[in-house]
Structure 1
Amino acid sequence: MSLSLSRERNSEEITSFQNLNPSFKSLGLIDPLLEAIEQLDYKTPTDIQVEALPPALEGRDIIGVASTGSGKTAAFALPILQKLWDEPKGLFACVLAPTRELAYQISQQFEALGSAMGVRCTVLVGGMDMVTQSIALAKKPHIVVATPGRLKDHLENTKGFSLRGLKFLVLDEADRLLDMDFGPDIDGILKAIPKERTTYLFSATMTTKVAKLQRASLSNPVRVEVFYGVHLVQYYLFVPLSQKDVHLVYLANSLAQNSIMIFTRTVHDAQRLSIVLRNLGFAAIPLHGQLSQSQRLGSLNKFQSGSRKILVAQIGLDIPTVDIVINFDIPTHSKDYIHRVGRTARAGRAGKSITLVTQYDVELIQRIETVIGKKMDLWPTEKDEIALLRERVEEACRLTATELREEGGKGHRKRRRGGREDKDDTETKEDGDAI
């Protein structure tokens, strides 16, 4: 964690330092929020909460550079809820998130922290019925959490809905919002909201695009930087391309007591690997862009509850506790790597990430090592154990290929009958979300 601290008058830059055990009460939170915090069993504030809450409660704009797991959702939710307690009227805050799953998670945290206040949240994401969402908006929620494309759809098409009275705007995981080409949608949203507002922008990395967005949307912000990762041990495993599957199964087998997230580049591999692992007796479940929203949330809930130990994901999401992150496919962008491995070693806890590197990925791994400023360690393997697994894995892959062909045939017949789902549910953008 960075230990330096510097401040400037116009754009204060605050780098997190070791505080002397501050409490949520000492940060100035009101009793209804303290009650909710106690019910949620939050013991002490995280570093980003310690640094961001005081200026946020004073009404300042915040730009936070923080990795996943730093406690940033509560860092922006708590000051919004405290202000809402003082001015309980109308649509109060809008949070933009890059993925459907993250939007639902943010909404759940707002409702949990605002439970003593009766806060009402509405989630607007692709893949769900617009009319149902319009009805929810008509009930005058306090907080709207949305993916940018769907929010813009409602601004343009839902009668009576506007953001003209908005008091707070939050841009969460701003680097991913911009990488996923939501820029034009965000520009349209910024034009539809009051200039007199409070804005919070959080990002795991500071890119040129994020800096430009900061200048366009924030006024005289306090800048807070908190970097976790000292407890994250990052490994690589060099494997021939043809042997990726067996090495993945070897890792799943040797790490079987842990919760594991496996990231793939494509929908097909997320579905295929989850079936391969299940055929070999592992409690694995997929999460990708071709699942319906209810299927996505079902996968997420099963993994979070512990009934499934392995989640094979093609899309990004935010999960509180994961022991191991495995990159089956190495991300082509270093920022995606940072987001993925940030799913483990959260809020100072220990964690491991393992990236499978083929002969075609050497340049990519070197680029990532340059960005993170360190060389990854080689994950140790037992060649004899891998050799013993090979035949079983090949058989599981053959069974899986048959299953996928049969599923594909059923899907083709269903589409011919006109039974295809909402097109938003078939979005396949890597680590992305349907608009």
Structure 2
Amino acid sequence: MEQDNEEEVKTFKDLGICEQLVEACDSLGWKNPSKIQAEAIPHALEGKDLIGLAQTGSGKTGAFALPILQALLEAPQAFFACVLSPTRELAIQIAEQFEALGSGIGIKCAVLVGGVDMVQQAINLAKRPHIVVGTPGRLVDHLSNTKGFSLRTLKYLVLDEADRLLNEDFQKSIDEILDEIPRERRTYLFSATMTKKVRKLQRACLRNPVKIEAASKYSTVDTLKQEYCFIPAKYKECYLVYILTEMSGSTSMVFTRTCDATRLLSLILRNLGLRAIPISGQMTQAKRLGALNKFKAGECNVLICTDVASRGLDIPSVDMVINYDIPSNSKDYIHRVGRTARAGRSGVAISLVNQYELEWYIQIEKLIGKKLPQFSAQEEEVLMLFDRVAEAKRISIMKIKESGGKKRRRGGGDDDDNDDNDVEKYLRLKSGKNGKMSKKFNKKRV
């Protein structure tokens, strides 16, 4: 099907998806293909390698899962496809989508991620699943150490969030995996951004790929309302509490720069009666999944997170994203705000910008190609919260120090000292005059 006929595509059936999988899409509430699905699926069904560039929340998982499942139906075998993901949570979520789409046809998946018992994963591999989804490091561990497990008969390899898979943390593992799998295979490479490393990988492991760009470079979706709030650093927590209180019925994700900040902020908000929960790379896998499930289930409606949660996590009910700390890498802004306004829904993104983050914020505006409007907040009302927030913060710091002391007495050692020091560093907030800053800020943005 030619890409210029894309407007005529109304259903998954039109794309060539078989009846069983069309029914599975229907049961998941997928009525019409997204742009990336409409463009990628016909090429995939023709047996082409793919490079898919699409903004986050665009339905990338369906774009590679449906063709793989259709090919599997035609020629069933164990270890048919392998999907690599940069984060554990995303790997688990991809496997859930495969299982949901393949529930009527008996699809078996194995998830191979760190932080989970390797023995149980080895038992799952012994059951010879059709699809293996994992993070590169743990997959290499199993290829090296799990008796009887190999990917020598693999037919499909998917690299999801490829731009992140190609950083130094994963490079060695990816090379080892590519050495272990057959050259005769289909390869799908999906990425939000096209970096030099993605191009290099494309040359190394794809054959005459079809490139599909389902979004303009570094764009945010039209249904997303984006605003900024320029504030003195010392009032940042007050503004956060003010916004969360004003939007009290919303489900919100709050992004911070450090793991310690997630812990501190969630304690402050809980002390003020808000249902907040942290998620960060410092937490065990079980705790991370527990926090995510509580948030998805609505037990907590504020998730305080680092960039570990900025990619790929599909939490459909997120109404608002707050950038408590502005990311130093502008592209991370795109991924963060992509947690809301997904799949055609509307959403709000508010960035709290203090005097020390101004340059980073200006880079974000340049990247997305627009100047954002200001979030209207009455400073007098915000500052009325100051005493309550300061008290909640004092109690939270005491709690963190106490828990650090308990860990040390149990033999926690240096890590806990660092934890307390990091919190102390984080709390050395600086002040600034808001009026002067605003003039300076607007002058710089012109």
Name structure 2 gaps, 5 residues minimum.
417-446
Q: 1:68 to 1:415 in 2, by over 3 A?
A: farther
Q: What letter corresponds to residue 367 of structure 1 in structure 2?
A: Q
| Equivalent runs, 1:171-210 vs 2, <5 Å | 171-179=159-167, 181-210=169-198
Q: Please give the alpha-carbon distance, in whole angstroms, between the structure 1 residues aligned to 2:145 and 2:373.
A: 52
1:189 Cα deviation after fit: 1.1
Q: 1:134 to 1:282 in 2, by over 3 A?
A: same
**Could you tell me whether the CA contact under 8 Å between 1:235 and 1:355 is conserved in 2?**
yes
1:416 Cα deviation after fit: 5.0
Q: What letter corresponds to residue 338 of structure 2 in structure 1?
A: G
Counterpart of 1:351 in structure 2 is: 347
- Structure in which a larger fraction of residues adopt helix: 2
Name structure 1 gaps, 5 residues minimum.
1-6, 8-13, 421-435
| Equivalent runs, 1:148-297 vs 2, <5 Å | 148-179=136-167, 181-227=169-215, 229-297=221-289
Q: Secondary structure at the match of 1:378?
A: coil
Q: Secondary structure at the match of 1:299?
A: helix
**Could you tell me whether the CA contact under 8 Å between 2:277 and 2:303 is conserved in 1?**
yes
**Could you tell me whether the CA contact under 8 Å between 2:6 and 2:38 is conserved in 1?**
no
Counterpart of 2:315 in structure 1 is: 320
State, as a whole percentage, how many aligned pairs show the same letter.
55
Larger radius of gyration: 2
Q: Please give the alpha-carbon distance, in whole angstroms, between the structure 2 residues aligned to 1:79 and 1:18.
A: 18
Alpha-carbon deviations, 1:404-435, whole Å to 9, x = none?
11221222233459xx9xxxxxxxxxxxxxxx
For this pair of structures, how many residues does the alignment match? Answer: 405
1:305 aligns with 2:293: no
Q: Please give the alpha-carbon distance, in whole angstroms, between the structure 2 residues aligned to 1:372 and 1:343.
A: 16
1:69 aligns with 2:57: yes
Alpha-carbon deviations, 1:327-382, whole Å to 9, x = none?
11111112211111111121232212111211111111111222211122221111
| Equivalent runs, 1:388-399 vs 2, <5 Å | 388-399=384-395
Q: Secondary structure at the match of 1:205?
A: coil
| Equivalent runs, 1:2-41 vs 2, <5 Å | 19-20=7-8, 22-41=10-29
**Could you tell me whether the CA contact under 8 Å between 2:21 and 2:66 is conserved in 1?**
yes
Q: 1:299 to 1:362 in 2, by over 3 A?
A: same
Q: Please give the alpha-carbon distance, in whole angstroms, between the structure 2 residues aligned to 1:401 and 1:218.
A: 51
Q: Please give the alpha-carbon distance, in whole angstroms, between the structure 1 residues aligned to 2:203 and 2:365.
A: 30
2:333 to 333, 337, 340: 337
**Could you tell me whether the CA contact under 8 Å between 2:9 and 2:38 is conserved in 1?**
no
Q: TM-score, normalised by structure 2?
A: 0.87
Q: Which stretch of structure 1 is more off in the superposition, 73-82 or 34-43? A: 34-43
Q: Please give the alpha-carbon distance, in whole angstroms, between the structure 1 residues aligned to 2:282 and 2:84.
A: 22
Q: Please give the alpha-carbon distance, in whole angstroms, between the structure 2 residues aligned to 1:186 and 1:312.
A: 31
1:18 Cα deviation after fit: 6.3
Counterpart of 1:401 in structure 2 is: 397
**Could you tell me whether the CA contact under 8 Å between 1:22 and 1:50 is conserved in 2?**
no
Q: What letter corresponds to residue 289 of structure 2 in structure 1?
A: L
1:141 to 129, 141, 155: 129
1:88 to 70, 76, 90: 76
Q: TM-score, normalised by structure 1?
A: 0.89
Q: Please give the alpha-carbon distance, in whole angstroms, between the structure 1 residues aligned to 2:86 and 2:226.
A: 25
Q: Which stretch of structure 1 is more off in the superposition, 42-51 or 30-39? A: 30-39
Q: What letter corresponds to residue 37 of structure 2 in structure 1?
A: Q
Q: Please give the alpha-carbon distance, in whole angstroms, between the structure 2 residues aligned to 1:375 and 1:17.
A: 35
Q: Secondary structure at the match of 1:119?
A: coil
Q: Please give the alpha-carbon distance, in whole angstroms, between the structure 2 residues aligned to 1:410 and 1:24.
A: 56
Q: Secondary structure at the match of 1:169?
A: strand
**Could you tell me whether the CA contact under 8 Å between 2:163 and 2:193 is conserved in 1?**
yes
Aligned-pair RMSD on alpha carbons?
A: 1.8
1:24 Cα deviation after fit: 1.1
Q: Please give the alpha-carbon distance, in whole angstroms, between the structure 1 residues aligned to 2:335 and 2:272.
A: 29
| Equivalent runs, 1:349-428 vs 2, <5 Å | 349-416=345-412
Q: Secondary structure at the match of 1:354?
A: strand
Counterpart of 2:420 in structure 1 is: none
1:270 Cα deviation after fit: 0.6
1:21 Cα deviation after fit: 5.1
**Could you tell me whether the CA contact under 8 Å between 1:304 and 1:319 is conserved in 2?**
no
**Could you tell me whether the CA contact under 8 Å between 2:259 and 2:280 is conserved in 1?**
yes
**Larger relative contact order (CA 8 Å, sep ≥ 6):** 1
1:233 Cα deviation after fit: 2.2
**Could you tell me whether the CA contact under 8 Å between 2:162 and 2:189 is conserved in 1?**
yes
1:290 Cα deviation after fit: 2.2
Q: Secondary structure at the match of 1:141?
A: coil
Q: Please give the alpha-carbon distance, in whole angstroms, between the structure 2 residues aligned to 1:275 and 1:416.
A: 21
**Could you tell me whether the CA contact under 8 Å between 2:53 and 2:214 is conserved in 1?**
yes
Counterpart of 2:428 in structure 1 is: none
Counterpart of 1:433 in structure 2 is: none
Q: What letter corresponds to residue 406 of structure 1 in structure 2?
A: E
